[in-house]
């Protein structure tokens, strides 16, 4: 039994537990979530005149704090308790305070019963359980180390080296022999025939390079090393070659995890990289703000540029200039024939500022030209992804003149395609979720049948399970993306156990303690997003043009609203117009607060201005709601709504123009997986107010370099902003202090150089791990393929039939 429950039952507080449970049974609501439970307990304490100490520090209050859900079934009360991160327990509480544990399978049945989809007479429902496959591999024990997978894996691998040195030296020896480029052997050649010979030759090579001046180019002693059995890849100078050989020598003689990571990270094994992002409008110009198109495009394009630079730097350091080796990076996305004046109908597009990085667009096969010629919502593209992956494989092989070394999936659809490609090409697969829809839409799995026509969650959640388990490693932007906080469940954690009534039960959907998870936050493009104080780097013409657009320009085609008083402080936000981004919530907050209206102008850059210009149902609803709120609260003269699509450079300058007027940036999303706009606003110098649900909790240090807001508490949002404005009036330097701390925070932690260096190191370590444990992964991959063909594919074909009739 839970220690939390037992602690209550062992004291007089068990009477309070009985009374509180009785109170809940009289409620009309039969499924309560954590916030509702805490609110109900607060009411109980107030109604029964309990002390503040009881409300906050009693054994019962501690139990209530850890209860995530309560389901009322007849006279019993089911409590789902999360005593610590990544762990969940369920108990049935009867009226006489009898406590019975509930198994994961029973809990899933209970949830089905709650929505009237429990049919025991039809036999057992299909169960998905990945746990047995993770029994083969090492797992992390301490929740604090979740997201530090590569560090754990290095320690595990080096301990194996120490325990069975001969086996693992053979692994390293054979792994080194694998590497080649364009027909040229790298690292070691046939003159080294065994692990023992490798160890001896390393010491001879160290003696050889030790006699060279440290800065001697590799070419001057290349052939001497070659005679010993060493090919290009060890370094570009005598000093670099010596360092690499010393690390290997240490690894052979006395292995440790630092030596292992240092050595594997130096091996030139990644030359060609594919990043997969099928949905939305993927391009470099004229796409941001379109449906399904936002931060992920910015993220990927910035990541590509940094990846190419880091790859080139690493290859040069490895001494591969002698072979003329250059990296190649491709973004695989969907070609949209009816491209609406964008370049999304262009098969190949060079990425600005790169030497050999491209956007490769592959069309969906033409099952129904009315659909496949046009943009398709991310919720509808599932039937096309398998054939897209097959066609993309042919295109990628042609462009690379071979196969890539690393495939990085983005979002649910991109990760599924990454799995299909990686499985066929037998290369390392990395997943980046950015955001998992299951966390965005409350009870989306429980009521999936009601939502299926609009969202097709049965396909999306199945794709997520397939891709996240198939991936060699997963990159998250934050720790809480994986396992949440003590108060909230993480995005990946929500896949641990759940039901899709009448479809399947997930008993164990993902191992959260797997070393495949790594927290590697993205950076910000420092050439575009930089502090407003760097006046010398700003273009005067751009600044004047954008200032006019933001505050005074009259252009009904892309601007709604005029400002009566230009001296008010600008309150600024920029996002897509969809429900989760919650810009209408910000407008309502502004409308309800006369104090905010007296001191600020609200300026929004968001989507389109007219419903007839949109084909996205959520965007249409938000446009209608925004106009309604402006009229309802009579915000005319106090709000500017720009439906303009900005270039990236204009976006950076817009933040700076707002900062020139000592404005603030508000990000009111109901949930934000990470929040690139938060990094952008902070680094340009704007004091930033961001949702406390999701990634911003790890970016911002509250009241130090930014502020948390609860997007569901509109009065509280207004109070937090007004308190900030009051402090600015009391202390003329307060705005500048918060501004500078935000800038410092980004430069110290969130740069693309840090990100890509870590990403490439991870890819190499997991490539080595995959090589040494291939036989264990194959069992899981076969299971995953079964789920794809038996669950995913039939439903995708069903959706395709629907598309064919449209």
pLDDT value of residue 91: 95
**Positive/negative CA dihedral, 489, 490, 491, 493:** negative
Give the bridge partners for 67, in sequence order.
81
pLDDT value of residue 777: 85
C-alpha pair distances (Å), 549 with each of 438, 535, 609, 685: 38, 20, 15, 20
Q: How many CA atoms lie within 13 A of 3 on its CB side?
A: 3
How large is the greatest C-alpha to C-alpha distance in the chain, in angstroms?
A: 87
Query: What 3-state DSSP class applies to 543?
Result: helix
10 Å CB burial of residue 377 (0-12, 13-18, 19+) is: middle
Residue ranges of domains in the chain, CATH in brackets: 3-102 (3.10.450.330), 164-177+188-230+234-266 (1.20.120.1230), 272-523+755-804 (3.40.50.2000), 535-750 (3.40.50.2000)
pLDDT value of residue 694: 81
Q: Is the Cβ–Cβ distance between 55 and 47 less than 8 Å? A: no
CA–CA distance, 125 with 603 (Å, rounded to integer): 51
Pull the structure tokens for residue 565: 């008083």
CA-closest candidate to residue 539, choices 644, 647, 642:
647
Question: Which stretches in the chain have pLDDT values below 70?
Answer: 1, 121-122, 774-775
Describe the strand order of the beta sheet including 504-508 as a list of residue ranges.
Answer: 127-129, 504-508, 498-500
Q: Is the Cβ–Cβ distance between 727 and 734 less than 8 Å? A: yes
Q: 518-536 as b/e, with b when 16 or more CB fall inside 10 Å?
A: bbbbbbbbeebbbbbbeee
Global pTM value: 0.85
Q: Is the Cβ–Cβ distance between 231 and 185 less than 8 Å? A: yes
Please name the residue ranges forming H helices in 26-164. 34-47, 52-57, 59-66, 104-114, 131-134, 149-163
DSSP state of 515: T
pLDDT value of residue 159: 82
pLDDT value of residue 207: 95
Query: What 3-state DSSP class applies to 113?
Result: helix
The secondary structure of 412-464, three-state, reads HHHHHHHHHHHHHHCCEEEEECCCCHHHHCCCCCCCHHHHHHHHCHHHHHHHH
CA–CA distance, 383 with 370 (Å, rounded to integer): 15
CA–CA distance, 205 with 214 (Å, rounded to integer): 14
Q: Is the Cβ–Cβ distance between 639 and 630 less than 8 Å? A: yes
Those residues with Cβ within 8 angstroms of residue 59's Cβ, 6 or more apart along the chain or in another chain: 4, 7, 8, 11, 13
**Positive/negative CA dihedral, 477, 297, 418, 154:** negative
Q: Is the Cβ–Cβ distance between 618 and 744 less than 8 Å? A: no
CA-closest candidate to residue 609, choices 598, 595, 593, 620:
620
Those residues with Cβ within 8 angstroms of residue 617's Cβ, 6 or more apart along the chain or in another chain: 454
With tokens 């007027």, the residue in question is 661
pLDDT value of residue 570: 97
Pull the structure tokens for residue 749: 């932690």
pLDDT value of residue 121: 66
CA angle 106, 107, 112 (to 5 degrees): 95
CA–CA distance, 198 with 336 (Å, rounded to integer): 53
pLDDT value of residue 1: 55
């Amino acid at each position: 039994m839970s220690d939390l429950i037992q602690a209550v039952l062992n004291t007089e507080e068990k009477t309070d537990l009985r009374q509180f449970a009785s109170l809940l049974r009289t409620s009309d609501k039969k499924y309560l979530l954590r916030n509702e439970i805490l609110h109900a307990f607060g009411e109980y304490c107030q109604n029964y005149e309990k002390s503040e100490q009881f409300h906050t520090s009693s054994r019962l209050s501690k139990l209530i704090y850890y209860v995530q859900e309560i389901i009322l079934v007849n006279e019993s009360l089911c409590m789902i308790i999360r005593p610590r991160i990544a762990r969940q327990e369920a108990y049935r509480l009867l009226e006489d305070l009898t406590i019975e544990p509930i198994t994961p399978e029973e809990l899933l049945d209970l949830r089905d019963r709650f929505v009237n989809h429990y049919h025991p007479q039809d036999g057992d429902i299909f169960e998905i359980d990945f746990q047995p496959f993770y029994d083969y591999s090492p797992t992390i024990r301490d929740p604090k180390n979740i997201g530090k997978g590569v560090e754990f894996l290095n320690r595990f691998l080096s301990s194996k080296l120490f325990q069975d040195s001969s086996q693992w030296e053979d692994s390293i020896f054979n792994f080194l022999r694998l590497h080649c480029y364009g027909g040229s052997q790298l690292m070691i050649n046939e003159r080294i025939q065994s692990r023992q010979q490798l160890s001896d030759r390393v010491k001879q090579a160290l003696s050889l390079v030790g006699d060279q001046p440290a800065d001697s180019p590799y070419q001057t002693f290349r052939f001497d090393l070659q005679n010993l059995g060493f090919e290009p890849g060890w370094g570009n100078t005598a000093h670099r070659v010596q360092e690499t050989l010393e690390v290997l020598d240490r690894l052979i003689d006395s292995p440790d995890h630092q030596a292992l990571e240092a050595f594997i990270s130096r091996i030139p094994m990644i030359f060609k990289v594919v990043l997969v992002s099928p949905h939305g409008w993927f391009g470099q110009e004229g796409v941001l703000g379109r449906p399904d198109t936002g931060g992920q495009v910015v993220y990927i394009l910035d990541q590509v540029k940094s990846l190419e630079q880091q790859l080139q730097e690493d290859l040069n350091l490895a001494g591969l200039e002698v072979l003329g080796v250059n990296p190649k990076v491709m973004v695989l996305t969907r070609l949209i024939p009816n491209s609406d004046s964008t370049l999304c109908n262009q098969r190949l597009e060079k990425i600005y500022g790169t030497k050999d990085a491209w956007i490769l667009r592959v069309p969906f096969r033409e099952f129904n030209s009315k659909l496949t010629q046009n943009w398709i919502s991310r919720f509808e593209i599932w039937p096309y992804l398998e054939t897209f992956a097959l066609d993309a494989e042919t295109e990628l092989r042609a462009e690379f003149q071979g196969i890539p070394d690393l495939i990085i999936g983005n979002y649910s659809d991109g990760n599924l395609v990454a799995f299909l490609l990686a499985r066929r090409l037998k290369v390392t697969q990395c997943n980046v979720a950015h955001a998992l829809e299951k966390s965005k839409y409350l009870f989306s799995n429980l009521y999936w049948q009601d939502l299926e026509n609009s969202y097709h969650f049965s396909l999306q959640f199945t794709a997520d399970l397939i891709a996240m388990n198939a991936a060699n490693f997963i990159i998250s932007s934050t720790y809480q993306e994986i396992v949440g906080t003590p108060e909230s469940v993480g995005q990946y954690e929500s896949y641990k156990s759940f039901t899709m009534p009448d479809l399947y039960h997930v008993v164990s959907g993902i191992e959260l303690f797997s070393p495949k998870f790594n927290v590697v936050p993205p950076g910000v493009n420092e050439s575009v997003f930089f502090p407003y104080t760097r006046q010398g780097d700003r273009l005067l013409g751009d600044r004047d043009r954008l200032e006019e657009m933001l505050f005074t320009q009259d252009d009904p085609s892309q601007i709604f609203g005029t400002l009566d008083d230009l001296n008010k402080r600008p309150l600024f936000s920029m996002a897509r117009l969809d429900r989760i981004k919650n810009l209408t919530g910000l407008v309502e907050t502004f409308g309800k607060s006369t104090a905010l209206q007296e001191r600020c102008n609200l300026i929004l850059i968001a989507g389109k201005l007219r419903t007839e210009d949109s084909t996205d149902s959520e965007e249409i609803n938000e446009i209608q709601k925004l106009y309604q709120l402006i009229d309802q609260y009579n915000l005319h003269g106090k709000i500017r709504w720009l439906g303009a699509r900005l270039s990236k450079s204009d976006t950076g300058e817009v933040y700076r123009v707002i900062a020139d007027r000592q404005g603030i940036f508000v990000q009111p999303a109901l949930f934000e997986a990470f929040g690139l706009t938060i990094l952008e606003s902070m680094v340009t110098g704007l004091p930033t107010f961001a949702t406390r649900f999701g990634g911003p909790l790890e970016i911002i240090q509250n009241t130090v370099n930014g502020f948390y807001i609860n997007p569901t508490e509109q009065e509280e949002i207004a109070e937090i902003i007004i308190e900030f404005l009051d402090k600015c009036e009391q202390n003329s330097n307060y705005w500048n202090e918060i501004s500078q701390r935000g800038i410092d925070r980004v430069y110290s932690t969130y740069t693309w150089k840090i990100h890509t260096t870590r990403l490439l190191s991870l890819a190499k370590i997991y490539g080595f791990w995959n090589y040494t444990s291939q036989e264990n992964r194959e069992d899981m991959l076969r299971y995953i393929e079964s789920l794809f063909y038996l669950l995913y594919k039939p439903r995708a074909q069903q959706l395709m039939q629907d598309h064919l009739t449209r």
